[in-house]
Amino acid sequence: MRSMKLGSSRLEVPVIAVGCMRIKGLSGPEAERFVKGALEQGACFFDHADVYGDGLCEEMFAEAVGMTPAVREKMILQSKCGIRRKIAFDFSRENILKSVDGSLRRLKTDYLDVLLLHRPDALVEPEEVAEALGRLHASGKVRHFGVSNQAPGMIRLLRKYVSQPFVANQLQLSITNATMISFDLTMNTARPEAASRDGEVLNYCRLNDITVQPWSPFQYGYFEGVFLDNPKFPGLNAKITQLAGKYGVPGAAIVLAWLLRHPAGMQPVTGTMNPERLRDCLKAAEIVLTREEWYEIYLAAGNILP
């Protein structure tokens, strides 16, 4: 598996991350087959969150992989905190510290490689966040930090107080949900795509060495469904099929290769729990689309150029 540096850190990670949000839908043997199969293919970066399955996903993962100190050193674990049932969002010092301790217990590990603050909290007090992250870093419980679904303004506010760098920002991005890309391409026009709705988050992350981790890379809309092999997107799928034939890879690999081709150095997060489908996705790391092919896919999805 091809690797990359995560943000400004020295942490070497696979260019494709394995999302574990849906692992609770697997049986024990199925989860073991999936996780161990991912490791065998070099997909050793696993993305979690304390809210996934109310913690069950982290527990199932640890059981599936047979977590021991020796096994732990073969993987990179990322989890997220900040979403709370009934209360919505909570970036208080107490909740961050409690959430991390819970994730460590469920994952059967002493540390997280990366902790992301999961979505913005309107009531965030950045001084408390700074204290919590400082404690976690000093104790060795968390080695690197980042955010999820956060705009530049919120990141700047947090960074005013937090001394540790943010190395990742997990954001929704796909061929059909590419507003953070289309903004730059249509700027200085009257088209609706020219309005920045995210504070130019892609440029901000590039300027500040923050790796963008696209989530739901196969989804259109907000969890409305996948566009791959979907009759609602005939032109896009025709182009994907053509390029899949050219490169000798499945269509899923072309979809992720489109994200990997962007010079921002993104790390897409898969969501499949199917070992064969994951294998298809990982083949994206083996190919590099041409500039022409990247734009052809962009236009085939219904995006426009001025």
pLDDT interval class at 143 (50, 70, 90): very high
Candidate from 70-74, 190-194, 207-211 with smallest mean pLDDT = 190-194
Residue 79: predicted pLDDT: 98
Side chain identity at residue 38, one-letter code: A
Establish if 306 belongs to a structural domain. no
Establish if 299 belongs to a structural domain. no
Establish if 242 belongs to a structural domain. no
Residue 50: predicted pLDDT: 97
Establish if 193 belongs to a structural domain. yes
Establish if 167 belongs to a structural domain. yes
Establish if 85 belongs to a structural domain. yes
Establish if 50 belongs to a structural domain. yes
Number of domains the chain is built from: 1
Q: Which of 224, 273, 278 is nearest to 25 (CA)?
A: 273
CATH number at residue 180: 3.20.20.100
Residue 250: predicted pLDDT: 98
Establish if 147 belongs to a structural domain. yes
What residue numbers bound the domain in which 169 lies?
3-232+263-287
Residue 202: predicted pLDDT: 97
Kindly list the catalytic residues.
52
Residue 223: predicted pLDDT: 83
Residue 232: predicted pLDDT: 97
pLDDT tens figures, 220-270: 998 899 999 999 999 999 999 999 999 999 999 999 999 999 999 999 999
pLDDT tens figures, 12-27: 999 999 999 999 999 9
Checking if the pLDDT of 47 tops 90, the result is yes
